[in-house]
Amino acid sequence: MIDRRSFVKHAALTAATAAALQRATHAKCISLNQFEPNTGVKWDKAPCRFCGTGCHVEVGVKDGKVVAVRGDQKAEVNKGLLCVKGYHVGSILYGEDRLTTPLLRKNGKLVPITWDEAIDVIAERVETDPNGFAIYGSGQWTIPEGYVCQKFIKAGLANNHIDPNARLCMASAVTGFLGTYGVDEPASCYDDLDECDVLITWGNNPAEMHPVLYSRVLDRRSRGDKVEIIDIGTRRTRTTDFADKYINFNPHSDLAIANGIAHLLIKNGTWDKKFVEENCAFRADPASGPSLFGDAITFDEYKKGLEPYTPKYVEEISGVPAEDIVMLAERFGNPNLKITSLWCMGMNQHTRGTAMNTLLHAVHLLSGHFGKPGDGPQSLTGQPSACGTVREIGTLAHALPGGRIVKLEPHRTACEEMWNLPKGRINAKPGYHTVKMWEQFCKPTAEGGDISTIWVQVTNPGQSLPNLDKLFNAKNGQKDKFLIVSDVYPTVTTEQADLVLPSSMWVEKNGIFGNSERRTQQWFKQVNPPGDARDDVWQVIAVAKELYDRDFAGMKDKDGKFLFTVLDENGKPFPAWNWDKYYDTNVDKYLYEEYRPFTFAKKKNVAPYDELVKTRGLRWPVVQQPDGSWRETRYRFSGFDDPFVEEGREIDFYNSKTKNHRAQIWSRPYVAPPEVPTPEFPLWLCTGRVLEQWHTGSMTNRVEEIRRAMPEAYVEINKADAQKLGIRSGNMVTVSTKRGDLTLPAWIGGRGEPPKGSMFIPFFDDKRLVNNLTLDAFCPISKQPDYKKCAAKVAKA
């Protein structure tokens, strides 16, 4: 990079007249204070470590440490803006209690051991019980991290016991996309936010959770654009503050609202007949119960299913005034409006999450609000690489890379060929999904608890799992169960671990994320990890190599070669298990390029690594052009943009489950939630996140500015409920459910405002674990639990 300061001086000199030149020379061109402005800072790009928005930051490094961060103006996602987490992402590396050495529990205490010992311990656990060894990972895994774990479990141990925390956050979005389009992930992208006339947030609080995206819309408004924001929710939030219209609904009744809109579209004849006739088919669950792909039904059957959902009936169920249902149907019935829907945890953490996701897609498809800029459904992810890693690599108990599943023989064969495995290596039986995995881990072996070891990476299940006593704490004291945790800070999960591995984080390692709009984003290592912390990718490869050396058959391909053979730039085998040499070649690039061909089958073609290096991420499918350049796709399935759309079609659902270019419009009824308030537990309890703290707070809690702003959990109570119970803001109260209780301060008229009859508690606080209270009931299709509603009571402590 040019030293701009000297350049400015130079330019000044050349431009100056002779006389001025003389003056300049006289003044010796020195700065006023003989001071060199901030030299020695090296800037490089990286995506933000936190949420699924996927903002890009520029990282300033000086003397081997991150010293500053700024929003990357070259990034289309955030155009220079960040949120408070992004601005402070540099600080998360430097909390004083970083884990810096492997720790093994001996006589009840965690004591330092060497990496060699740690690797041996893990290899022994695998050897002793390969079928009971599971990996529990994360939507914060980088793509190469998820990929090596996927290969380790599906190809190496062949027990399929790998599942991520994304199961707790994105699973219903996935099944919603699969059920509707036959393939996962959004068709549209964030550009919608710049184009839409109406923005509807469904149980979603982007002002706090995806602030940069919300500001993209608010910014348009303050520049004079007309955008109507409709917030449909169960709690007033900061998003509501900026909305034109807030629609409050009874928890769980969003199903009825979506059906009510569809009902009116049909009844008023305002549905998009042409779009539906050309591009859609109808679907319902079979009589046997909820199903991912369901059965075909006719339009008449679909219509019949919607008949009960008159505005009046919907009002009865949801508490939403009938005229608001009519208003929503009018918006969707207007073909001249561009409508973008946003949703995240409200719709996903839902015991009918799959149903609700498919119903929202149905409303968009039925009304033809799809496939044009500004017009379509856009699902948001909470984690930075829930899409890129979990969903694209398929680090789920039932999935294989590139949208494949273990149940299907051709999918297994394809993966076996690409991994050069002997035929039949990949197990056809899905492994345990998250809740089941932890249940089987916590259940004593004698009672059939057949998971004996879980290796947790990049996540904090001791805080984020629901119903913690049952799913996490019950492991305590069981001698034959073993918990391995790779992390960067001590957490409630490491507190219970038998082996703790210190990991590198963010720009201490190479990495690749994939954000909510199909954008794959790469960064390079920029500083060293502290102490003996090492990359997660390395940790897995080192264990695999140890197993290979011990002659563990699963770690060999069909020619007897090591499963994780990495080649260097010259094509020579590279000892990626040797930490001292690990960065002599770009292991991330090698693994990513090995993975990339997996994405071609479902036309999810991710960009080559070298193209990612040059950009602030590219949205797949990324296809090479005749001139050799690579072009990203903003609108999937849309003829004007997606290269895979059949010639001449405006819309082409080419991954259609029914193989006829059609997406499925689902008919799914409202069903009551599994737990509702009772006289004993009269209030709804919702849990969630807050702007400053990220998820379980293990990183953000180490940042002083953030901690000062949001130090501890509280319970938001509606004023009327509080008055009745004599509770004032700041009073300590005890919130209880059937599963547990929690004492914390009440906040009335606080940041959010739950309607009468409901409460809200954030889950970031590791001293006040709200997940001791939450329900572990889950969506029958996605297996995602519901953290958003259960029955609770509150009383002064």
Partner 1 sequence: MNTRLVFIPLICTALVAGVASTSVSWSPPTASSERMSMERLLTTPQEADDVSSRRFSKPQGTRNDSLESRMENRSFDGAPPMMSHAMSFGDNKSCLDCHGKGFTMGKRIARAMPHAQLENCTQCHIEQESDMFGEVTVVTNYFDGLLPPEGGTRSFEGAPPTMPHGLLMRTNCLSCHGSTGYAGLQTDHPERRNCTQCHSMATPLFVP
User: Which residues are known to be catalytic?
Assistant: 85, 169-170, 345, 382-383
69 touches ligand SF4 by CB under 6 A: no
Q: How far is the CB of 686 from ligand SF4 (least distance, A)?
A: 22
Residue 219 CA to its chain's centroid (Å) = 25
- 360, 342, 461: which is closest to 776 by C-alpha? 461
Burial label, 68 (beta-carbon count in 10 A; 0-12, 13-18, 19+): middle
In the list partner 1, ligand SF4, none, the entry touching 730 (Cβ below 5 to 8 angstroms by class) is partner 1
**Strand extents, DSSP E, 325-424:** 339-343, 376-379, 399-400, 404-405
**Which CB, 191 or 652, lies closer to ligand SF4?**
191
Please give the full DSSP string across 678-705, using - where no structure is assigned: -SSS-EEEEEE--SSS-TT-TTGGG-HH
Question: By the 8 A CB rule, do 167 and 434 touch?
Answer: yes
Report residue 638: phi and psi, to 5°.
Answer: -100, 125
Query: Please, which residue, 47 or 164, has the CB nearer to partner 1?
Result: 47
Among 423, 341, 384, smallest CA distance to 176 is for 341
Three-state SS for 624-635 is ECCCCCEECCCC
For residue 50, the partner it binds in ligand SF4, partner 1, none, with Cβ less than 5 to 8 A by kind, is ligand SF4
Name the residue nearer to partner 1 (CB basis): 7 or 600: 7
Residue 376 in contact with residue 187, Cβ under 8 Å?
yes
Q: Which of residues 220-279 bind ligand SF4 (CB under 6 A)?
A: none
Q: Which is nearer to partner 1, 418 or 709 (CB)?
A: 709
**Residue 446 binding: pick among ligand SF4, partner 1, none (C-beta 5-8 Å cut-off by kind):** none
Buried b / exposed e over 436-456, threshold 16 CB at 10 Å, is bbbbbbbbebeeebbbbbbbb
Contact pick of 53, 270, 539, 605 for ligand SF4 (by CB under 6 A) = 53
Q: HEC profile for 195-245?
A: HCCEEEEECCCHHHHCHHHHHHHHHHHHCCCCCEEEEEECCECHHHHHCCE
- Sketch the per residue contact string, 74 through 93, with ligand SF4: x for CB under 6 A, - otherwise: ----x---xx-xx-------
Write down the least CB distance from residue 743 to partner 1, Å: 16
Q: Of 53-61, 148-156, 291-299, 596-604, which part binds ligand SF4 (CB under 6 A)?
A: 53-61
CB of 238 to partner 1, least distance (A): 6
Minimal CA–CA distance to 480: which of 446, 505, 506, 457? 446
Q: How far is the CB of 344 from ligand SF4 (least distance, A)?
A: 12
The reply to whether 48 sits near ligand SF4 by the rule CB under 6 A is yes
Question: Of these partners, ligand SF4, partner 1, none, which one is at the site of residue 11 (CB under 5 to 8 Å by kind)?
Answer: partner 1
Distance CA 693, CA 764 (A): 7
Of 54 and 511, nearer to ligand SF4 (C-beta) is: 54
Between 72 and 272, CB nearer to ligand SF4:
72
Angle between helices 143-150 and 536-549 (to 10 degrees): 20
Angle, vertex CA 346, rays to CA 693 and CA 673, nearest 5: 130
**Partner that binds at residue 51, options ligand SF4, partner 1, none, CB closer than 5 to 8 Å by kind:** ligand SF4
Residue 212 found at the interface with ligand SF4 (CB under 6 A): yes
- Residues 786 and 349: their CA atoms lie apart, in Å, by 4
Judged by beta carbon, residue 199 or residue 258, the one nearer partner 1 is 199
**Burial of residue 35 (number of CB atoms within 10 Å: 0-12, 13-18, 19+):** exposed
257 SS3 class: helix
Window contacting ligand SF4 (CB under 6 A); options: 158-166, 208-216, 331-339, 560-568: 208-216
- 91 contact choice in ligand SF4, partner 1, none (CB below 5 to 8 Å, kind-dependent): partner 1
- Binding residues for ligand SF4 restricted to 84-143, rule: CB under 6 A: 85-86
Rounded to the nearest whole angstrom, what is the least distance from the CB of residue 65 to partner 1 in the complex? 6
User: Residue 380 contacts by C-beta under 8 Å, 6 or more apart in sequence?
Assistant: 52, 53, 204, 206, 209, 210, 213, 342, 343, 344, 516
Amino acid at site 595:
Y
The rounded distance, in Å, linking the Cα atoms of 157 and 154 is 6
Residue 55 touches which of ligand SF4, partner 1, none (Cβ within 5-8 Å per kind): ligand SF4
The minimum distance between CB 583 and partner 1, in angstroms, equals 23
Binding flag, residue 50, ligand SF4 (CB under 6 A): yes
Nearest residue to 655 via CA among 602, 607, 618: 602
Q: Give the nearer residue to partner 1 in terms of CB position, either 70 or 398.
A: 70
Strand partners, 297: 282
Select the span of 52-60, 171-179, 451-459, 632-640 touching ligand SF4 (CB under 6 A).
52-60
Q: Which residue is nearest to ligand SF4 (CB)?
A: 86
3-class SS string, 492-551? HHHHCCCEEEEECCHHHCCEEEECCCCEEEEECCCCCCCCCCECHHHHHHHHHHHHHHCC
287 interacts with, out of ligand SF4, partner 1, none, CB within 5 to 8 A per kind: none
Least distance CB 89 / ligand SF4 (angstroms): 7
Residues numbered 284 to 323 that lie near ligand SF4 (CB under 6 A) are none
Task: Residue 111: name its binding partner from ligand SF4, partner 1, none (Cβ under 5 to 8 Å by kind).
Answer: none
Nearest-10 Cα torsion for 99, 539, 87, 242: -110
700 binds ligand SF4 (CB under 6 A): no
Q: With binding defined as CB under 6 A, does residue 206 bind ligand SF4?
A: no
What are the start-end ranges of the E strands in 328-405?
Answer: 339-343, 376-379, 399-400, 404-405
Contacts of 444 (CB under 8 A, 6+ apart): 478
Q: How many residues bind ligand SF4 (CB under 6 A)?
A: 14
Of 82 and 759, which CB lies nearer to ligand SF4 in the complex structure? 82
Which of ligand SF4, partner 1, none has residue 33 at its interface (CB below 5 to 8 Å by kind)? partner 1
> What residues contact residue 495 under an 8 Å CB cut-off, 6+ apart?
462
Q: Taking the complex as a whole, how short is the minimal distance between the CB of residue 42 and partner 1, in angstroms?
A: 10
CA 160 to chain centre: 21
In the bound state with partner 1, the residue whose beta carbon lies nearer, of 67 and 327, is 67
Residues 407-466 interacting with ligand SF4 (rule: CB under 6 A): none
**Token reading at 197:** 């006339």
State the binding partner of 37 from ligand SF4, partner 1, none, CB within 5 to 8 A by kind. Answer: partner 1
Q: How far is the CB of 55 from ligand SF4 (least distance, A)?
A: 3
Closest CB to partner 1 among residues 109, 708: 708
| Selected binder of ligand SF4 within 51, 61, 257, 344 (CB under 6 A) | 51
Q: Are 357 and 346 in contact (CB under 8 A)?
A: no
Q: CB under 6 A: which stretch of 47-55, 265-273, 696-704, 782-790 binds ligand SF4?
A: 47-55
For the bound state, the minimum distance from the C-beta of residue 72 to partner 1, rounded and expressed in Å, comes to: 9
> Which residues of this protein are in contact with ligand SF4, per CB under 6 A?
48, 50-51, 53-55, 78, 82-83, 85-86, 210-212
